[in-house]
């Protein structure tokens, strides 16, 4: 196990980053770090108003609205962007195959929504939409170009977007992006070259966790030498001591094995250590309150890893409830309630909330939050809440036409997720 890392400064405007992190309450221990907005894990306020989760009380989905989205009573949707079309009020043509996403609050009260593009042949990357404090679109632009199959990723506590290449040849990289687009993205090869899916930051232990979209993909941990600088560090892969126990509904200890060659010069990272555990198609991942939740699409499971205890268990398996949630993909966690929110790749084209009753794998209710009709050839991608917890963003990657390059649609849903 590597020694505890020292702490350094991010290369992205470090002076502002420190101030912003202190302002938003993310520089101390036990705070939310990943996947969308930059705010405290235990933060239950929006604009100074005390809030609590209302997700467990949300009613059934109604009929599809004018945008083809089924929502509970009291919710509404709007379309923000369509692939190959200019984002309204901007000069930016929205990219194809919108996928993993994050949200970053800004000093003016607005926020930036970053979205990957899962396009091959150097046409992938990521774009961004900027909103003012009232939620109106004021700008859209590119933040990463010239990359391939940018599927998912994750946000960092220091305000950058980590965009991951799902390169099927096994040499995909992580790119650290400035959501404002003012600073050029930086390639981070020391985080490993493999079929990257998503990444989550644990700010307490100063580590990053990653998934791999392969039928025998690894579950990885990266420890920066000087957190939060990602230029150097140690890459490890998980070995689940009693994986059969986990699959059967129990829990097991996890050991971490150092990957000999993170650059995968001759052998893929997942194959370099015989004792490492293969997962059936790693997808979305998210950190919250010492827990790392991640999905595996080929067996429809949501795992929970306890970073302090270094144990793994299964929160959800499709067979456990008859398959309400299938095609598990991108993952986020709702604020302030901590519900694990999962998008479907296929399935019923739904986003579903998993309500926990207690411990990390004590599943309570399974609650649909929305469903897109008439787009069965697509998948729901990039679910992420804004800082207030009242807006949910997501995309239909291939839309109604099913065209990977030209049919994507990006949405916003607002409503009483919190009260």
pLDDT in tens, 161-172: 999 999 999 999
Record the tokens describing residue 383, joined without a space. Answer: 């679910």
For 117-121, 131-135, 188-192, 319-323, which range has the lowest pLDDT when averaged over its residues?
319-323
pLDDT at position 18 over 60? no
Quote the pLDDT of residue 318.
86
Quote the pLDDT of residue 25.
32
Peptide bond between residue 336 and the one before it cis (omega within 30 degrees of 0)? yes
The whole-angstrom separation of Cα 309 and Cα 305 is: 9
Quote the pLDDT of residue 321.
66
Q: Which CATH architecture has domain 6-414?
A: 6 Propeller (2.120)
Quote the pLDDT of residue 33.
32
Element (H, E) at 207: strand 207-212
Task: Write out pLDDT tens, residues 327-359.
Answer: 999 999 998 999 999 999 978 999 999 999 988
Q: Mean pLDDT, to the nearest integer, of 51-61? A: 94
Residue 82 to residues 15, 178, 232, 309, 368, Cα–Cα distance (Å): 36, 23, 38, 44, 24
Burial of residue 30 (number of CB atoms within 10 Å: 0-12, 13-18, 19+): exposed
pLDDT band at 50 (very low <50, low <70, confident <90, very high): low
The whole-angstrom separation of Cα 199 and Cα 207 is: 10
Contact, 251 vs 312, CB < 8 A? Answer: yes
Quote the pLDDT of residue 140.
98
Record the tokens describing residue 1, joined without a space. Answer: 């196990």
The whole-angstrom separation of Cα 130 and Cα 110 is: 7
pLDDT band at 365 (very low <50, low <70, confident <90, very high): very high
Quote the pLDDT of residue 29.
24
Q: What are the sequence ranges of the domains in the chain? A: 6-414
Q: Which residues on adjacent β-strands are paired with residue 287?
A: 292
Q: Mean pLDDT, to the nearest integer, of 133-157? A: 97
Residue 169: what are its φ and ψ, rounded to 5°?
-80, -5
pLDDT band at 21 (very low <50, low <70, confident <90, very high): very low
Sign of the CA dihedral running 16, 291, 371, 163: positive
Task: Write out pLDDT tens, residues 277-318.
Answer: 999 999 999 999 999 999 999 999 999 999 999 999 999 998
Peptide bond between residue 228 and the one before it cis (omega within 30 degrees of 0)? yes
Quote the pLDDT of residue 49.
53
For 30-34, 215-219, 234-238, 261-265, which range has the lowest pLDDT when averaged over its residues?
30-34
Q: Mean pLDDT, to the nearest integer, of 82-97? A: 97
Quote the pLDDT of residue 36.
34
pLDDT at position 4 over 50? no
Task: Write out pLDDT tens, residues 192-250.
Answer: 999 999 999 999 999 999 999 999 999 999 999 999 999 999 999 999 999 999 999 99
Q: Mean pLDDT, to the nearest integer, of 366-384? A: 94
pLDDT band at 320 (very low <50, low <70, confident <90, very high): low
Quote the pLDDT of residue 346.
78
Contact, 261 vs 272, CB < 8 A? Answer: yes
Quote the pLDDT of residue 400.
84
Contacts of 245 (CB under 8 A, 6+ apart): 251, 252
Q: From the CA atom positions of the chain, what is the Rg in Å?
A: 19
pLDDT at position 322 over 90? no
- Decide the pairing of beta strands 150-155 and 161-165: antiparallel
Q: Mean pLDDT, to the nearest integer, of 166-194? A: 97
Burial of residue 60 (number of CB atoms within 10 Å: 0-12, 13-18, 19+): exposed
Contacts of 274 (CB under 8 A, 6+ apart): none
The whole-angstrom separation of Cα 210 and Cα 382 is: 16
Query: For residues 16 and 322, which has the higher predicted lDDT (pLDDT)?
Result: 322
Quote the pLDDT of residue 48.
47
Give the predicted TM-score (pTM) of the model.
0.90
If DSSP codes are grouped into helix, strand and coil, which group holds residue 269? helix
Contacts of 66 (CB under 8 A, 6+ apart): none
Mean pLDDT over all residues of the chain? 89
């Amino acid at each position: 196990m590597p020694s505890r890392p020292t702490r350094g400064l991010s290369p992205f405007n470090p002076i502002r980053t420190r101030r912003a992190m202190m302002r938003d309450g993310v520089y101390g221990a036990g705070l939310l770090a990943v996947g969308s907005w930059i705010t405290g894990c235990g933060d239950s306020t929006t604009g100074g108003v005390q809030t609590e989760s209302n997700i467990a009380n949300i009613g059934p989905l109604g009929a599809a609205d004018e945008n083809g989205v089924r929502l509970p009573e009291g919710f509404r949707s709007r379309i923000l962007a369509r692939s190959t079309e200019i984002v309204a009020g901007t000069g930016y043509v929205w990219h194809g195959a919108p996928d993993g996403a994050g949200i970053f609050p800004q000093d003016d009260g607005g926020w930036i929504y970053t979205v990957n593009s899962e396009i091959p042949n150097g046409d992938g990357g990521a774009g961004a939409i900027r909103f003012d404090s009232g939620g109106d679109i004021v700008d859209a632009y590119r933040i990463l170009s010239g990359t391939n199959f940018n599927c998912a990723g994750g946000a960092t506590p220091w305000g950058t977007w980590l965009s991951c290449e799902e390169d099927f040849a096994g040499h995909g990289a992580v790119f650290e992006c400035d959501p404002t687009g003012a600073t050029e993205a930086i390639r981070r090869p020391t985080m490993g070259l493999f079929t990257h899916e998503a990444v989550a930051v644990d700010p307490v232990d100063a580590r990053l966790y990653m998934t791999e979209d392969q039928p025998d993909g690894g579950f990885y941990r990266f420890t920066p030498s000087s957190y939060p600088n990602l230029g150097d560090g140690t890459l490890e892969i998980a070995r689940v001591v009693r994986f059969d126990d986990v699959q059967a509904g129990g829990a097991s200890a996890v050991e971490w094995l150092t990957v000999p060659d993170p650059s995968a010069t001759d052998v893929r990272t997942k194959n370099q250590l015989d004792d490492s555990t293969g997962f059936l198609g790693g997808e979305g991942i998210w950190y919250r309150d010492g827990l790392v939740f991640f999905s595996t699409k080929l067996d429809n499971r949501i795992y929970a890893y306890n970073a302090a205890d270094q144990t793994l268990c299964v929160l959800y398996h499709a067979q456990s409830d008859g398959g309400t949630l299938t095609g598990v993909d991108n993952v986020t966690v709702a604020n302030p309630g901590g519900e694990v929110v999962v998008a479907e790749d296929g399935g019923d084209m739904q986003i579903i909330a998993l309500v926990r009753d207690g411990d990390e794998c004590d599943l309570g209710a399974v609650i649909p939050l929305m469903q897109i009709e008439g787009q069965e050839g697509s998948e729901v991608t990039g679910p992420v809440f804004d800082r207030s917890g009242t807006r949910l963003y997501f995309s239909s990657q291939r839309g109604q036409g099913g065209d990977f390059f030209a049919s994507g649609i990006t949405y916003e849903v607002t409503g009483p997720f919190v009260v």
